[in-house]
């Protein structure tokens, strides 16, 4: 509208429609089912949450842009795994692995495809694999991460021990810098191994957490129980209500399944096997750390010994300087241009003065060193081990 009250006609063809740009954050996931078939899923986090029925806080643990410690979480319909580069969601029918550019993930995916399908062996020989799907997937992930950390530890040992031995033979800037880098790598690797070990130990100490990983058993119990409502048991907007209903459903299934709910022996044996393996890896790193500490102590002892030798050398030079100063003082006194009556006819006195003064200074130097050795100040310098 114009100031005078008039109106302006706008050409519809000149009107530009501005649309708000909506971004849809899609994450690439790899789905591997019980037959070993691999499927790439380009779905956002909400679709994944609906697919596996977990909350956003659990899915956030698998975000590669965020730094979260290693974790194995059991939920009502899925288990969440965050083990180093392996970020996966395990259900009773499939495994969802976050697509990553990490080259260490490729053999893990191949191992999933090879070992997840049930191998039908000889029935009479009892070779059929009766482990639940989630246990086979969990075993592949634990084996991959334990093998990777063990391999990194072996590589570090192969490089560290020769470098430490070389440093003990020759202390140089190059060897010190090499050992410093190896020690930093060992510290980082120890922290990674410690996180995985603590997570397995925490899981082994809690039977309820291990029972939450029995997804197939919970799914069979839910299907066999009488459904009183057609509404889903998962409430993404209210984690508190969802967790209460989850606990209530588990308590109601205990009476149906009897003692099967608390039977976690199979999972416990699986976790204990890999706990012992990761414990062995941690023990190797601990032994390497102790070897590095022993090497540092040995180097410090060597440096202290060299420092003591320099102090002893300085003491000897100072003693010699004092004796020579006495000799110089006598020579300076007799070298003054002062007329003495005995200086003209007693030339032989010069020889006696020079001889006696030199002898006196030498005897004084020996006395000082003998006293220092008697007090233990230069004893180690004269020993045969330092020659």
Q: How far apart are CA 215 and CA 92, in angstroms?
A: 6
Backbone CA torsion sign across 207, 209, 210, 212: positive
The distance between the two most distant Cα atoms of the chain, rounded to a whole number of Å, is 138
Is the per-residue pLDDT at 108 higher than 80? yes
| pLDDT tens by residue, 312-367 | 888 888 888 888 888 788 777 777 666 666 556 666 667 777 788 888 888 888 88
Is the per-residue pLDDT at 243 higher than 50? no
Q: What are phi and psi of 383, to 5 degrees?
A: -70, 160
Rounded mean pLDDT of 277-294? Answer: 95
Backbone CA torsion sign across 67, 75, 56, 26: positive
The pTM (predicted TM-score) of the whole model is 0.70
Query: Which pLDDT belongs to residue 261?
Result: 54
Lowest-confidence region among 33-37, 66-70, 185-189, 339-343:
339-343
Backbone CA torsion sign across 288, 289, 292, 294: negative
Work out the mean pLDDT of the chain and round it to a whole number.
78
Give CA separation, 357 vs 33, 208, 229, 377, in Å: 101, 94, 117, 27
The answer to whether the CB of 324 falls within 8 A of the CB of 361 is yes
CB atoms within 10 A of CB 387: 6
């Amino acid at each position: 509208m114009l100031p005078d009250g008039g109106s302006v006609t706008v050409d519809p063809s000149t009107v530009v429609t501005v649309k708000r740009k909506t971004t849809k954050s899609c994450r690439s996931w790899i789905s591997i089912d019980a037959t070993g078939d691999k499927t790439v899923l380009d779905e956002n986090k909400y679709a994944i949450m609906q697919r596996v029925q977990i909350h956003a806080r659990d899915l956030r643990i698998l975000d590669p842009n965020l730094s979260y410690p290693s974790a194995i979480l059991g939920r009502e319909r899925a288990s969440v795994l965050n083990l180093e580069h392996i970020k996966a969601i395990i259900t009773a029918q499939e495994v969802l692995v976050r697509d990553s550019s990490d080259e260490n993930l490729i053999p893990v995916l191949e191992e999933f495809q090879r070992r997840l399908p049930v191998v039908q062996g000889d029935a009479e020989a009892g070779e059929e694999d009766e482990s639940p799907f989630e246990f086979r997937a969990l075993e592949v992930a634990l084996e991959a991460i334990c093998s990777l950390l063990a391999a990194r530890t072996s590589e570090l040992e192969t490089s560290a021990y020769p470098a430490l031995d070389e440093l003990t033979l020759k202390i140089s800037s190059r060897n010190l810098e090499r050992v410093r880098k190896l020690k930093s790598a060992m510290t980082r690797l120890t922290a990674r191994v410690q996180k995985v070990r603590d997570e397995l130990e925490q899981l082994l100490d809690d039977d309820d957490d291990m029972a939450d990983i029995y997804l197939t058993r919970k799914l069979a119990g839910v299907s066999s129980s009488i459904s009183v409502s057609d509404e889903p048991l998962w409430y993404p907007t209210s984690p508190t209500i969802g967790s209460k209903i989850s606990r209530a459903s588990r308590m109601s299934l205990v009476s149906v399944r009897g003692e099967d709910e608390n039977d976690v022996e199979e999972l416990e044996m699986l976790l204990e096997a890999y706990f012992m393996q990761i414990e062995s890896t941690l023990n190797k790193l601990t032994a390497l750390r102790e070897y590095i500490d022993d090497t540092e102590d040995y180097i410090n002892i060597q440096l202290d010994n060299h420092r003591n030798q320099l102090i002893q050398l300085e003491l000897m030079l100072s003693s010699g300087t004092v004796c020579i100063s006495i000799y110089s003082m006598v020579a300076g006194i007799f070298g003054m241009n002062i007329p003495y009556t005995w200086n003209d006819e007693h030339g032989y006195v010069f020889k006696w003065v020079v001889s006696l003064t030199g002898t006196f200074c030498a005897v004084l130097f020996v006395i000082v060193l003998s006293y220092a050795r008697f007090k233990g100040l230069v004893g180690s310098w004269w020993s045969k081990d330092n020659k």
